[in-house]
Structure 1
Amino acid sequence: MTDRETFQPLVFFEYDHKPGHYCLMLTEDAMFAVADVFEERGYECNGYAWAGVARSAVRARAPELEDRFGCDPEAGMFVAYGEDAEALRALGTLLREAFEDRAVLRGFVEAGDPDWFD
């Protein structure tokens, strides 16, 4: 099961090799469409920065999601994962909104701890 539409540009899927485990992924090629928002604050737009956005979004809008998924960012990719598909879908909704609305993204970046974006 792969959903490339609902949270676009993020992709939500269940791992083939591990049924019941899910992933929400944003790849490097999509990230750069909003890189200027990160650069305004002196951050690189990469998977680590998007992990910061995820933490900030959860803290600001959905604290009930805290500790319901893990993140495994890399320079070229953001990944949130876990067994709680509902939590990952809720995160996907938050991140898609941030991706589509620069004011929302800017708010999450500005509200986050600078250490979250390294």
Structure 2
Amino acid sequence: MRLSVSLASIALIVSGVSAGQALAQTVGERLTGNEIRELIWGHQVQGAMAGDQAYSEIYLPNGEIVGDGYSGQASIEGDTMCFDYGGDDVSCYGVRLDNDGRIEWIEEDSVVGYGDISDAP
């Protein structure tokens, strides 16, 4: 089930402003590290990366990543979310919201993936 990010959810991310102002300030802009943590951690994200590589992952509140048959660790580095699946490489991406409440994974100012956020099962 797809659960788009609601205005109320975005308002929780950006404290001190109304829900409408929060949407206007957040959509299309990169999220801060704290906003990424509030929006994504504790939720499931399903989408695809470049080359249509589909994924479905749960990001636990402690940063643990749970996928189908694999796991990893997420961290926040500045205003990026980083992914460590136990190999030599750690990948970090900026995050922004599009107009539909979908997240976009950003690398060097290019969208390299997207995802729909839902409640973790």
Tell me the TM-score normalized by structure 1: 0.28
Highest Rg: 1 or 2?
2
Q: Which has the higher helix share?
A: 1
Q: Which has the higher strand share?
A: 2
